[in-house]
């Protein structure tokens, strides 16, 4: 796992990603690699879906799940050099309705 993380860090630095993105992607990949049980170079979309579903069950926010997905996509595209497209859509952010005040509440 350490070798894969070092390769990812190198690619992120070459592509001039920000230090915060680098830190977030490496953290995300550690979580993914732990879930995946050391099969780092095999692109298995079903496994990625299982991982994201596992994260949803742990009540991880849609924004955080999207960060995890982006880190995984970066890893397979730029480190493993797998040209297969990951056909998983980003999680939608929940929309809340605005609170509307009545005229009496305004005055």
What pLDDT score was predicted for residue 88?
A: 85
* Residue 12 pLDDT > 80: yes
| Domain boundaries 2-87, corresponding CATH code | 1.10.150.130
Residue ranges of domains in the chain: 2-87
Please report the DSSP string for the chain in residue order: -HHHHHHHHHHHHHTT--HHHHHHHHHHHHHHHHHHTS--S---HHHHHHHHHHHHHTT--HHHHHHHHHHHHHIIIIIS--------PPPPPP--PPPPPPHHHH-
The pLDDT tens digits of the residues spanning 48-82 come to: 999 999 999 999 999 999 999 999 999 999 999 88
């Amino acid at each position: 796992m350490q070798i894969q993380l070092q390769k990812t860090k190198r690619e992120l630095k070459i592509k001039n990603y920000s230090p915060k993105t680098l830190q977030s992607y490496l953290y995300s990949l550690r979580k993914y690699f732990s879930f995946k049980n050391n099969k780092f170079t095999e692109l298995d979309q079903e496994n990625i879906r299982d991982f994201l579903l596992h994260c949803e069950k742990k009540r991880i926010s849609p924004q955080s799940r999207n960060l995890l997905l982006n880190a995984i996509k970066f890893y397979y595209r730029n480190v493993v050099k797998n040209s297969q497209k990951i056909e998983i859509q980003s999680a939608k952010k929940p929309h809340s309705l605005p609170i509307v005040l009545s005229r009496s509440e305004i005055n």
